[in-house]
Amino acid sequence: MRERTQRRQRIAASALAVLLAGCAALPPLSPRPPCHALADTDGTALARLFAAARAAHPGESGYALFDDGRASATTRFDLAAVAERSIDLQTFAWSDDVMGGATWSALLGAAARGVRVRVLVDDVALDGRARLPCRPNLEIRVINPFAQRRFRLFELLRRFATLDRRMHNKLYVVDGQVAFVGGRNVGDAYFGLGRRYNYRDLDVATVGPVVAQAEAAFDAYWNSARAYPASAFCDASPAVRARVERGIDEAIARSLIVYPYPIDGGREGSLGRLAAVRDRLCWGPGEVVWDRPERLVEGARVEGPPAVALRALAEATRREVTIESPYFVPSDDLLGIAALRARGVPVRILTNSLDSTDHVPVFVGYQRSRRELLESGVELHEVRPDAASRALYTTAPSSESRLGLHAKVEVFDRRTVAIGSFNLDPRSHYLNTEVLLVAHSPELAERTLALLERDFSLDNAYRLVLGEHGGIAWVDVERGRLHRTGFEPHAFLRRLIVILLSLLPIDGFV
């Protein structure tokens, strides 16, 4: 009887906490002076490493593609190992997993050497009970935070117009000399470490003038009124703080035990690997295009600069367009695909299949447009969850592991590459903030297309074609033989979910 009474009391307390969440308020922001990227980093080891290459390409930027998670993670940690002045990391999601722990290890190691480390993370993908370290030379800010750290539903309903807008940007800048731009968040699935599910993702390391543009984008969010210090949501009592820090150190140690990639080969080893990155750079003009953080405040649904830039690139295209977008909702023709086809420009698109996507509601918006895309002549492909390329993007692939697309890249006329956090869906166009690198380099475009060719192959993706009686058929290769089916592959239960979701008014919010 006593246990039943206590259980009821706990339930009542939880319900009260949920109800009170709707009345919670964010803590007031204390006045703070603007903080900007460090300008005097030309004497750092990274500056010296890339100095000759930059001098040989005045006014241009250098680009190195990272096709797999292992190389991307190793290069990020090599940059942290040789950093001398600053590290700025901006991400939408930070998972409490192996990659999350290994990343904290690299950043805290740099901070312990006196490197200024700034971490900017969106709150929606943070666990409300997430443990964030508090160490010298490290500052963490949370963008567009919930006032309630655990019970968020009522607050979301009360402040939906603001909390539905999220910072989706991903940047990683070291010593003001090298910047990573792309789709990867901090988490196992983005770097091939997931047990059941991994992403085919793509990012690019850059040097040259675009790095300063990336730093300017980071600073705008860092100094935004929507960026709250993580310390504002932490228990500041010494005993609790000490216990939290011990837990963080223990979690990091556990992560490093199972982390499978090189992480501590010494400073010279890191510089040697970074020299190899330098030697494979492609060069050309470029720019970083980004949404202003003011977009996070409730307002009109208008296109931001990344959307405008992509539309302009599409309008100027005359030969061909190749697109990879994991979340693709073309109902509003946001990239002007109809106009491209009307001009006779070939358009080739790869997106997630129903069985490979991690976001079924987005798929609902996409599948309504498939027949129209095919009828207009678009070459349409969907990722196979059992793609042969899983072996490239997954550390320990098994028959149960699935692959999904997360790369966000467009190649225009084999001359210009756009890569970043931007999805071809209404959320990226109208609600979230995004960052996009536009590189005008035929060499980079050819290298990118060479990587994408593998993704479009029939052992890695379905080719969609118009079937009999106006239906859609999926074509792939099984055991070396061409296979064709008129049903959504491998996704019976998800088909039912799609039917139910199709009845809901979710357009524009997925």
Quote the CA–CA distance of 82 and 106 in Å, as a whole number: 11
Domain count, the chain: 2
Report long-range pairs for 369-375 (Cβ below 8 Å, ≥24 apart). 369/329, 369/330, 369/331, 370/464, 370/472, 371/466, 371/470, 371/472, 373/330, 373/337, 373/349, 374/464, 374/465, 374/466, 374/472, 375/466
| pTM assigned to the model | 0.92
Report whether 338 contacts 376 (CB < 8 A): yes
Tell me if 449 is assigned to some domain. yes
Same domain for 443 and 386 = yes
Last residue of a domain, one of 217, 248, 279: 279
Same domain for 184 and 221 = yes
Tell me if 388 is assigned to some domain. yes
Tell me if 1 is assigned to some domain. no
Tell me if 22 is assigned to some domain. no
Quote the CA–CA distance of 437 and 204 in Å, as a whole number: 9
Nearest to 335, CA basis, from 351, 316, 356, 353: 316
Q: Which residue has the tokens 């139910």?
A: 500
Pairing verdict, β 178-182 and 138-143? unpaired
Same domain for 272 and 227 = yes
Same domain for 423 and 306 = yes
Structural domain range at position 263 = 40-279
The pLDDT, as a whole number, for residue 129 is: 54
Kindly state the tokens that stand for 347. 């358009």
Tell me if 323 is assigned to some domain. yes
Q: Which residue has the tokens 């027949």?
A: 371
Tell me if 2 is assigned to some domain. no
Same domain for 333 and 256 = no
**Helix, strand, coil fractions of the chain, as percent rounded to 5:** 40, 20, 40
Pairing verdict, β 416-420 and 409-412? antiparallel
What CATH number has the domain bearing residue 182?
3.30.870.10
Same domain for 348 and 217 = no
Tell me if 15 is assigned to some domain. no
The pLDDT, as a whole number, for residue 128 is: 53
Report whether 478 contacts 388 (CB < 8 A): no
Question: Which residues in the chain come in under a pLDDT of 50?
Answer: 1-22
Residue 409: phi, psi to the nearest 5? Answer: -150, 145
**Angle, CA of 69, 70 and 76, to the nearest 5°:** 85
The pLDDT, as a whole number, for residue 22 is: 47
**Residues with a known catalytic role:** 168, 170, 175, 406, 408, 413
